[in-house]
Amino acid sequence: SLPTPSGLSAADFDRLGFFGGNAQLIFRENLLLRFELYHGDTAFKPPDWLLTLTPVLNFNYVNFEERGIVNIVVRQGTNRSRGDAALQEGFLEYHIANLSDRYDSISVKLGIQPFNSDFRGFIFNDTNLGARLFGNLGNNRYQYNLAFFNMLEKQTNSGLNTFSPRDQRVVIANFYWQDFLTAGYTTQYNLHYLYDAATFRFDANNFLVRP
């Protein structure tokens, strides 16, 4: 229950004020199909290589009590249902080398992959097209990532990936240090760079989203 602006094309004649009906129904369901092909003994160390594909089928439905919310064209009504399909993950991970007898290692991952750059995911937390060099040292006391992402557009209603580039690039370098100064305390150092070109775009519901 959230007040929804009614505008000049209110759904009912008695809702021409600032707010109209306040009932909202939002539904989104994803069916993920994950396929993995790998080589190596994964019980004690990372796989020698790993190929992952994750197609997703999505159905989403929204219903508001006012017009102009689900589509810029008020004749579209107050509800919308859509179905989407996407390749949400598609990457190759390659184990470059072991750096110690405790399986401290260095690896690279190429393709559409998930990545969370910080503890809470406040800065960057996405599944997108990129290349990432990562590994650990000191019996896994230290972990590091160097990542580059050439961001893909998201589908408007499902939020899933498309194959269209967004003309936005992200570079991330981070370093985790466990048991920093005292046991059980982990500190993290993060460096982020964002290049976001000035582009012009309408979404699938005909709303202007950029600039």
Q: Tell if the pTM clears 0.75, that is, is over it.
A: yes
Q: Which residues contact 85 (CB under 8 A, 6 or more apart)?
A: 55, 56, 57, 58
CB of 132 closer than 8 Å to CB of 145: yes
* Token reading at 130: 């990129």
Residue at 188: amino acid letter: Q
CB of 21 closer than 8 Å to CB of 15: yes
Q: What is the mean pLDDT of residues 77-95?
A: 93
Residue at 115: amino acid letter: F
Residues 162-178 have pLDDT tens digits of: 999 999 999 999 999 99
Residue length of the chain = 211
Distance, in Å, from the CA atom of 12 to the CA atom of 171, rounded to the nearest integer, reads: 49
Q: What is the mean pLDDT of residues 188-197?
A: 95
Nearest Cα neighbor of 86 from 127, 58, 128 is 58
DSSP string, 156-194: TTT--EEEEEEEEEEEEEEEEETT-SSTT--EEEEEEEE
Mean of the per-residue pLDDT values of the chain: 90
pLDDT at 13: 66
Per DSSP, 84 falls in state: E
Q: What is the mean pLDDT of residues 17-42?
A: 88
Residues 38-68 have pLDDT tens digits of: 998 887 778 899 999 999 999 999 998 888 8
Q: What is the mean pLDDT of residues 105-117?
A: 96
